[in-house]
A and B are shown apart, each in its own frame.
Chain A
Amino acid sequence: MTTERDSRTRIVLSWLREDANQDAEPVLLRALDEVDLTPQRRSWWPAVRVAQIRRVRIVIAAAAVLVVAIAGYKLLPRLSSIGEPSSPSAPPSPARTFTHPDAVKPRPIPSGSMAPGTYLVSDPTLTLRPYSVVVPAGWIGGDGASRGDAFEGTGVELTTWLITHVYADSCHWTGTLVPVADTAALVAALTAQVGHAHSAPVATTIGGLPATKLTLSLDAPSDVTGCEVAGHVHIWPAPGADESGGWAMIPGETITAYIIEKSPQLMVLMTVQHKDSPPADVAGLQQILDSVEFQP
């Protein structure tokens, strides 16, 4: 048995370590072209240090003012009692709060781990209007925010898509693209789409914008093995009928799509969850969705 196990291990390792000769030059050239257009993000820490020094100075100054005020307060009654009655004091001015600009300034969503905070999505290939979103700790950035294992059907995600076409049949999708030009057409296409269940469309608002909410779901025991590619259904392609990408659903997945129209374009802001998504992650997803705010 040990010999068999060792033999299998050797086969696995040998297969894993095989090299395929793929030309990396095209990728390198594309990356360098993009680098030419990409500014470097300068180091953040000197700025933080400057901000901290400023904050320390503000705190020292505020403390000094407070000491003087307390001393004055303690001293004034005695002085008043010596001489004339004091005049009525003026009403206190409204308290001024200091908010450091970095604390509220939204950042672009990074690719990878996200620090908790407010983020801004403004990439026109992702959204028709820039929007801000507040993300708690432990989420991963990409086109939106996600958490958990998206590959194993337990993850949760908030993301956006620009939509120009929808498949009429999500299971056998080839040759079934339908163009959609407005909300009514998109709702009609998605609710008529073969291969999954859907809710009734509901007029609502999301992030301050009017939207139409529609839920698409594929039950966990759904048999999608007979679909064009076994295991999943295809909902829509990438914008412009680009079928090299798009959104696919797997059994157990539920998409809540908020359709937003900015004539003549359409987008969906959507949450994605799965049957086995941890409740805490689903609650976090709802919290993130609730924080979405589109810019005017």
Chain B
Amino acid sequence: MERRQSCGWDVDTDLVVRARKGDRAAFGLLAAELAFRFLAVSRKIVRDVDLAEDATQQALVAIWRDLPQLRDPARFDAWSYRLLVRACYAEGRRYRQWSPNLRILPADEPSESRPLDAIIQRDQLETAIRRLSAEHRTVLVLHHYADIPLERVAQILEIPLGTVNSRLHHAMRAMRAALDADARPVAAEGFR
């Protein structure tokens, strides 16, 4: 059984091959491996719990549906991330800037144990990341959160490596700037 690691997690290619042939039990195991990571990554991209859940669900179903079209199981990791990113973009387009029932990300809830400065800092970072375009945010999350090498990020997003570098540079600069003393006020809730 071949196991490999190229996008930050182990992909059991045997499960991929079986699922590709229509084995639902194998897909169930594969999906169980993916679900937590996909949910975490999509939350970082769309910045909303509900949208992230929808994007993750859509991505898993799309993986099942289109798996027979994946000719090389060794490319599963990049391919599946690509479907997740597309699902995030689709959710964002569908519900852009629309979140009257927004569930705040648990990690962003202020707690009494956190000093005020830290809370303000987190607000500034949250503001900054929401102001990034989805494309910039995606590069930032895939590389710095999912720990995917830039070359693989370029493959996932089907864009040149130079574009990945440029987006990452722009995104990091914007995030760092948010920590400046004159950081902008907290952004409105919602997905941008």
- State the A residues within 8 Å of B (CB): 5, 8-9, 11-13, 15-22, 24-28, 30-32, 34-36, 38-45, 111-113, 140, 142-143, 146, 149-152, 155, 157, 174, 229-232, 234, 243-248, 250
**28 A–B contact pairs at CB < 8 A?**
A11-B121, A12-B175, A16-B145, A16-B175, A20-B40, A20-B43, A22-B39, A22-B49, A22-B106, A24-B35, A24-B36, A31-B57, A32-B60, A34-B61, A38-B61, A38-B65, A40-B65, A41-B66, A41-B69, A44-B69, A111-B90, A146-B93, A150-B96, A157-B93, A229-B189, A232-B98, A243-B101, A244-B101
Contact A229 B31 (CB under 8 A): no
Query: A11-B179, A112-B86, A151-B92 known; A229 and B60 CB under 8 Å?
Result: no
Contact A27 B22 (CB under 8 A): no
Query: Within 8 Å CB of B141, what residues of A?
Result: 16
Is B73 on the interface with A (CB-CB < 8 A)? no
Query: A16-B44, A40-B22, A111-B86 known; A32 and B31 CB under 8 Å?
Result: yes
Query: Within 8 Å CB of A39, what residues of B?
Result: 65
Query: A35-B64, A245-B98 known; A151 and B58 CB under 8 Å?
Result: no
Contact B86 A151 (CB under 8 A): no
Given A32, A43, A155, which contacts B28 in the complex, CB threshold below 8 Å?
A32
Residue of A nearest to B21 (CB): A40
Query: Within 8 Å CB of A140, what residues of B?
Result: 86, 89
Max chain B Cβ within 10 angstroms of own Cβ: one of A22, A42, A143, A245: A22
A19 to B146, CA, bound (A): 11
Query: Within 8 Å CB of A24, what residues of B?
Result: 35-36, 38-39, 56
Query: Within 8 Å CB of B115, what residues of A?
Result: none
CB distance from A232 to the nearest CB of B (A): 5
Encoded as 1 (CB less than 8 Å from any A CB) or 0, chain B from 21 to 42 comes to 0101001100110011011100
Contact B94 A31 (CB under 8 A): no
Residue of B nearest to A152 (CB): B133
Query: Within 8 Å CB of A41, what residues of B?
Result: 65-66, 68-69
CB distance from A10 to the nearest CB of B (A): 10
- State the B residues within 8 Å of A (CB): 22, 24, 27-28, 31-32, 35-36, 38-40, 43-44, 49-50, 53, 56-58, 60-62, 64-69, 71, 82-83, 86-87, 89-90, 92-101, 105-107, 121-122, 125, 133-135, 140-141, 144-145, 158, 172, 175-176, 179, 188-190, 192
Contact A9 B176 (CB under 8 A): yes
Contact B31 A142 (CB under 8 A): no
Contact B68 A31 (CB under 8 A): no
Given B31, B106, B134, which contacts A28 in the complex, CB threshold below 8 Å?
B31
Query: Within 8 Å CB of A157, what residues of B?
Result: 93
Query: Within 8 Å CB of B158, what residues of A?
Result: 113
Query: Within 8 Å CB of A151, what residues of B?
Result: 92, 96, 133-134, 192
Residue of A nearest to B158 (CB): A113
Given B40, B67, B176, which contacts A19 in the complex, CB threshold below 8 Å?
B40
